[in-house]
Amino acid sequence: MSTSYFEHDADIGIIGRGLTIEQSFEAAAHAAFAIMTDLEAVHPVDAVIIDFDEPDVELALVVWLNQIFGKAREFGMVFSHFYIRRDGDHWHGKILGEKWREGLERGVEVKGATLTMLSVKQIGPIWESRCVVDV
């Protein structure tokens, strides 16, 4: 898995890559949360489950990311480990992290994933998921 970023005038483009669609989704979530803090410092002590149905794989990326951002705000948490599995149109995820605490670096809040420059595609053996996130 790997992550990188691309340019957008006002916000930030994120890219997640992996050997499967699911891995690319996990990497995209990693890219987004790395904007908010140093993920190496986050203790993956609490888990949150994410479940949703979405037949469109590109919209599934947006829903996946936005569900995580929503849970982060709902529980006052920051996440560093991301796992997702697909079963037909159903997506099941597990994310791990901790509550925000003193000592965690404060980056910039990512408020949500958008449909801008949204794509999920296979390039050779690698799946690549990308979109612009709103900060």
Partner 1 sequence: MNIQQLRQLHPYLWTLPKTAIEKRAEVLLYGNQLLLESMDDKVLEQIANVAALPGLAGAAMTMPDAHWGYGFPIGGVAAFDAEQGGIVSAGGVGFDISCGIRFLRSNLNLHDAVPLLNRLADRLFAAIPAGVGEEGHIRLNPDQLDRVLLGGAQWAVKQGYGNAEDLGYIEENGCVNGAIPEYVSDLAKKRQHGEMGTLGSGNHYLEVQLVERIYDQAAAQAFGLHEGQLVISIHCGSRGLGHQIGTDYLVMLAKAASRLGIRLPDRELACAPIKSPEGRQYLGAMNAAINCALANRQILTHLTRETFAEIFPQAALETLFDISHNTCKLESHQIDGKTRNLYVHRKGATRAFAPGHAKLPLRYRDAGQPVIIGGSMGTGSYVLAGSITNRAFASCSHGAGRAMSRNQALKRWDGRRLIQELLQQGILIRTRSMRGAAEEAPGAYKDVDQVAAITEQAGLARRVAFLRPKVCIKG
What helix, strand, coil percent values describe the chain, rounded to 5? 25, 45, 30
- Give the C-alpha separation, 133 to 66, whole Å: 10
C-beta separation of 26 from 14 below 8 A: no
CB of 77 to partner 1, least distance (A): 9
Binding site for partner 1 (CB under 8 A): 5, 7-12, 35-37, 56, 59, 62-63, 66-67, 69-70, 73-74, 76, 78, 100, 104, 106-109, 111-116, 118, 132, 134-135
Which letter does DSSP use for residue 89 in this model? T
Find all residues with CB under 8 Å of 114, minimum gap 6, and list them.
Answer: 11, 62, 131, 132, 133, 134
Nearer to partner 1, 19 or 43 (CB): 43
In terms of CB distance, is 84 or 132 closer to partner 1? 132
Whole-number Å distance between alpha carbons of 110 and 91? 22
Q: How far is the CB of 106 from partner 1 (least distance, A)?
A: 4
CB of 124 to partner 1, least distance (A): 26
- With respect to partner 1, which residue has the nearer C-beta, 19 or 59? 59
State which residue, 19 or 116, has the beta carbon closest to partner 1.
116
